[in-house]
Amino acid sequence: MVLRDPDFPMTKETSSDRRNDEQHLWVDWDDYHRLIERLALRVHESGWKFDKILCLARGGLRVGDQLSRIYDLPLAILATSSYREAAGTQQGDLDIARYITMTRGELSGNVLLVDDLVDSGVTLARVQEHLKERYPAITAVRSAVLWYKACSKVKPDYFVQHLPTNPWIHQPFEEWDTVRPHNLAAWIKRGTGGTAPAA
């Protein structure tokens, strides 16, 4: 079942950030946390019961952490990497870690696979294949993301925002992508609310 939240559309008209357009979507911390809460609610309202949450690092880490706390279920982490080209804005070859990190048991039963977004759909499709091949104790996998871009070849089971265009999503933690240890003191002194100084 595919669910989304029509009461929380992330569009230029409803967002307070005037930089939003068809090419860029700027998300602040309040909206980000609200999206995760809406995602948790959509999964709950579906009635599907799951045993574990598997998040894809790095984009799905924060989403997975919050869902793990809300559902009081174990969180497993699978590292993936594909955004390396053009300073991390273009998708390159997909790397999937050999092992999943989790504190107890094995990955089994019904698994909620969590990421921040589905863009081309390549990562989601490949990870689902990876799980089928390597983890036979998994009964079923359903996917949950905050943003589902229309250009994706794969439709997630649960999502909050459907984006008919393909904007670059500027998430609130993105500002740390340019902070380095040598300029951290100046960044802290300047305070929050801006972008990090150039490296």
Cα distance between residue 167 and residue 154, in whole Å: 17
pLDDT score at 92 = 62
Is residue 187 situated within a structural domain?
no
pLDDT in tens, 34-57: 999 999 999 999 999 999 999 999
In a domain, 152, yes or no: yes
Rounded CA separation 163/142 (Å): 20
Averaged pLDDT, 4-16: 47
Encode pLDDT of 54-98 as tens digits. 999 989 999 999 999 999 999 999 998 875 554 445 556 788 888
Q: Is 65 within a domain?
A: yes
Q: Is residue 79 part of a domain?
A: yes
| Residue 18 domain-assigned (yes or no) | no
Domains in the chain, number:
1
Residue 55 lies in a domain: yes
Q: What is the pLDDT of residue 40?
A: 98
Q: What is the reported pLDDT for 5?
A: 47
The string of DSSP codes covering 64-101 is: HHHHHHHHT--EEEEEEEEEEHHHHTEEEEEEE-SS-B
pLDDT band at residue 23 using 50, 70 and 90 as cut-offs: confident
Tell whether 147 is covered by a domain: yes
CATH number at residue 167: 3.40.50.2020
Q: Which residue has the higher pLDDT, 118 or 192?
A: 118
| Domain housing 98 | 24-173
Q: Distance between CA atoms of 60 and 2, rounded to whole angstroms?
A: 19
Examine residue 54 and state whether it is found in any structural domain, yes or no. yes
Find out whether 75 and 55 touch, Cβ atoms under 8 Å.
Answer: yes
How many whole angstroms from its chain centre is CA 80? 12
